[in-house]
Amino acid sequence: MEFATGFGWTRLPVLAAAFILGSVLTVSAQIIPPTAAVPDEDAEAAEAPDVNDPDVLRGIDIDKLDWGQLAIDAGTLNDIITAKKRAQAAAKDGLNWATNANANGSSAVTVKQSVSSFWEARIGADMTVTNEPRTMSELLAQKATNGGSVPQSSGSAWAAATAPGAGAIWDKTAVEARVDPGAEQSKLGASLTKSVPLSNDTSLTLQNGYSVNQQGTTALPGVGGHITRNYETDQSAKVTITDTGTSITAGQSLSTTDDKWLRKVGAEQKLFDNVTVSGSVGETSQGAINKSLTAGFKKSW
């Protein structure tokens, strides 16, 4: 018996190729992993617990939490509270310390404190503190830096107050007293200031100052004292231009030591924040002209 097919031998290669191609596609589908799904940010945000959610501790065993990390010693807590109160009291009293290093190795220390806010009364001290040499090399280094001498510590105490003026005559009254026991010097001074606006951005400030300088000590039992006093007065007028940061000053001073008026003119220009350049030209008691040009930076914290 013979069987006949309708495909014929010529179609067998086509069927074999189709069978092989199908097998390859099936194996490839099994080997290539499925593409990872991109996480949905909105879904994650919706699933994130909120602080106000009453079930925020859901799934957390409270009994297994380490509460010991929140424990604090009572003495440490008292020290923290005491230090905070001390800092608040110092800020309230207006106590302010400042220290600057000098070129000769010493330090300039300034301390001031507000006494009364009604008249802006203040007291303070300006001190120069030096380091005592501990070795011979340090002593020789200090002498070499200071021209063969060792710098000494010194200081002066001062008190200042600012009060209102007298109506239309002057606007402000300033009084200052300073005592330097080491140099046996003392000074008492007062100044009267009057400000007059010239335009919207220009003002004129007039100032008269008076001071008494005393040198020497008073006589004590068995010790003779020698005191000399010098009286000084100065007058100045200052024009300030607010828009440009420029100020021009002209003034004169007279003292019992010089016995003649010494005139002086100067100008100051603000370059940018906290940086200024100033120059002045003034007469001296010897007849020569004193010229100066300085630049300064000032900032308060």
pLDDT value at 86 more than 70: no
- Establish how many alpha carbons lie within 13 A of residue 233's alpha carbon, considering only the half-sphere containing its beta carbon: 6
> Hey, what amino acid is at 280?
S
Question: Mean pLDDT over residues 198-224, rounded?
Answer: 83
Question: Mean pLDDT over residues 205-209, rounded?
Answer: 95
Q: Would you call 21 helix, strand, or coil by DSSP?
A: helix
Q: What global pTM score does this model have?
A: 0.55
Highest mean pLDDT among 98-107, 136-145, 178-187, 275-284: 275-284
- Bigger pLDDT: 237 or 51? 237
Question: Mean pLDDT over residues 151-156, rounded?
Answer: 82
Question: Mean pLDDT over residues 120-143, rounded?
Answer: 82
| 105 alpha carbon, distance to own chain's centre | 23
Q: 11-38 burial string, b = 16+ CB within 10 Å, else e?
A: eeeeeeeeeeeeeeeeeeeeeeeeeeee
